Structure 1
Amino acid sequence: MLSRSITRRIAAMETSDGAGVRIKRSLGQSPHTRLDPYLMLDEFGSDQPQDYIAGFPSHPHRGFETVTYMIEGHMLHEDHLGNRGNLKNGGVQWMTAGRGIVHSEMPQQESGQMRGFQLWLNLPAAEKMKPAGYRDIQPEEIPDLPLGDARVKLVAGSLSIGEEVHEGAVTGGSTQPLYADIHLPANGEVQLPVAQGLAGLVYLYEGSAGLKTDNGTEELARSSAHILSDGDRIELKAGTEGARVLLIAGRPIGEPVVQYGPFVMNSREEIEQTLQDYRDGRLTA
């Protein structure tokens, strides 16, 4: 067995998106800060309404999937397909843009904490033009597993522990996405399997923790994507505050990525066609 270690740290940068929502972006700051198959990872969190109240009005996507995980707050999703989902504490919105979708994500509260993450998962060329889809995953649909000292909310993928296989709310997919929210108590430890060949990262968003490796312990920085070496497991140890850590992994696609704002294709020509489709009203046809 080989423990994964940190090969790169991408500190989140403060920026804004949508209609001025304040976010921290780690993956996706530039084309050089992606982790195939993932394009972008945003953390949002504020108790100041002016930081989030304008939300993300209607906008288009093509060629990838978005995964929005709400930790605190209440967000309403609506799209051109007629889907309407209330994303609340602990819930997940898994949206496949495919050939095209137009949607909005708008806060449904005027005060209080709004906190969560949005992850962009690329699609291989063979799937970029498949029909758009949407899934509203309620908090109770996400397995909450006691593993080691931790509780692990398994949004996507599977974890093989001994003879048991634990499956998340979302399974399958050509990129084998793994998405887990790990809650560790003070000084708690956990060891989790991550299949070899999957590109992976850990993201500390609360408390303090270190990644135990074959050569010692590497401390995690808050609000940073820690890109991992290959291996078959990760080992985490929390500090005296306890910790909350995201584990995200997936099988690399290994294809060219050409992005223009909300559109992600494999060539400039495909992007130009996408823009033409959007102008002509064919993006969602």
Structure 2
Amino acid sequence: MSLRPTLEIRKAQATLEGAGVKLHRAFGFQDPSELDPFLLFDDFRNDRPEDFLKGFPWHPHRGIETITYVLEGSVDHSDSLGNQGTLGAGDVQWMTAGSGILHQEMPQGNARGQLHGFQLWGNLPASQKMTAPRYQDITGADIPQVTDDDGTVVKVITGAFWGKVGPVDGIAADPQYLDVFVPARVRKSFKIDTYRRAFAYIFQGSGAFVDASAPSGVLLEKEIGGEEINIRDLSGDRTLVRFGTGDEVTVQAGPDGIRFLLISGAPIEEPVAWHGPIVMNTQAELQQAMRDLNNGTFIKPAH
């Protein structure tokens, strides 16, 4: 086994999106090769309805897939193809925009006025940029969960892990998307295909990913649970951890445990021409998409 080094640890940054939704962006609109095939990751967690109820009114997408995972509250969605529905707590929607779709997402808080969820953008290869749009709506009850002997709990949203296979399939990047909880003071390793780009996003508790790039695989000593262990400084809520090459990551949970998303995918390694919610391969294709928007031909007829 080769432990993946930690290339970067950074905090998600507060930003405004949609009609004024306050969220935190872990990455996006920067270097698209950094986490290829993934383009953007937003944490739309809020405890005040006035910070999210204006939502994300009608907007276009082309050339990408969007993955929405709701933990608290709900998100009503509808689109130009006539689809509509509601994502509740624990539900996932994987939307393949393909040749183009107009849709809106309007979040609603839970009984306490809270909203919590994530949206990840995955790129599409050139061969699939103009495929027909489609949805996969998955209820939380259909997402397999596995618990290890040490209390580690993993929800498998897509990909195969610990003998379970996630219900979302047919995705271009062939990703693995896991929701992981590791109990207090437990050290746990997770295998990741060597050829995938990978990152973790911490959203509850704290912990440290053991760094293979340090001289002895460690950076500093901490005392947890009465014993000294070699780990990095503990990272907490809204922290992105970007990994280098290897086939395993190891996390040391802090005193309250740690919950994080562990996401990996096969890089596409193609040119990216990107403007807002439209991602193509060339500037000419991007300009054509904008012309399609302006002249009313953005939505392509089904074949």
Q: TM > 0.5 between the two?
A: yes
CA separation of 1:41/1:172 partners in 2, compared to 1, >3 Å: closer, same or farther? same
User: SS in structure 1 opposite 2:293?
Assistant: helix
Which range moved further: 33-42 or 124-133? 33-42
* Deviation of 1:4 (Å): 1.4
> What displacement does 1:222 show?
3.1
Deviation larger for 27-36 or 38-47: 27-36
Are residues 1:274 and 2:272 paired? no
Native 8 Å contact 1:10 1:27 kept in 2: no
User: In structure 1, what is the equivalent of residue 155 of structure 2?
Assistant: 153
Equivalence for 1:78: 78
Structure 2 Cα separation of the partners of residues 253 and 76 of structure 1: 31
Q: How does 1:93-132 map to 2 (within 5 A)?
A: 93-109=93-109, 112-132=113-133
Structure 1 residues 158 and 171, CA gap change in structure 2 (3 angstroms): farther
Task: Tell me the alpha carbon deviations over residues 10-38 of structure 1, each in whole angstroms, 9 at most, x when there is no partner.
Answer: 32111010010001011105236841000
CA contact (8 A) 1:158 1:171 kept: no
CA distance in 2, matches of 1:33, 1:42: 18
Deviations 1:128-182 (A, max 9, x none): 00000111110011111113531101111112x4xxx321122343422111110
Q: 1:232 aligns to what?
A: 247
Aligned to 2:168: 170
Larger Rg belongs to = 2
- Distance in 2 separating the partners of 1:125 and 1:182: 32
Greater strand share, structure number: 1
3-state SS, counterpart of residue 116 of structure 2: strand
The alpha-carbon deviation at position 64 of structure 1 amounts to: 0.3
- In the TM superposition, residue 224 of structure 1 has moved relative to its aligned partner by 2.4
What SS class does the counterpart of residue 26 from structure 1 fall into? strand
Structure 1: unaligned runs, 5 residues or longer = none
Q: How does 1:193-204 map to 2 (within 5 A)?
A: 193-204=191-202
Paired with 1:173 and 1:137, the residues of 2 have a C-alpha distance of: 14
For 2:279 and 2:32, how far apart are their aligned partners in 1? Answer: 15
Tell me the secondary structure at the aligned position of residue 46 of structure 1: coil
TM-score normalised by L of structure 1: 0.94
Partner of 1:251 in structure 2?
A: 266
Tell me, what secondary structure is at the counterpart of 2:113? coil
Instruction: Give unmatched runs, 5+ long, in structure 2.
Output: 219-230
Name the SS of the counterpart of 1:94 in structure 2.
Answer: strand
Q: Which moved more, 1:183-192 or 1:103-112?
A: 103-112
Moved more, 133-142 or 103-112: 103-112
- Displacement of 1:183 in angstroms is 1.3
The aligned runs of 1:5-84 (5 Å cut-off) are 5-31=5-31, 34-84=34-84
Q: Give, in angstroms, the shift of residue 221 of structure 1.
A: 4.5
| Shift in alpha-carbon separation, 1:174–1:61, aligned structure 2, 3 A | closer
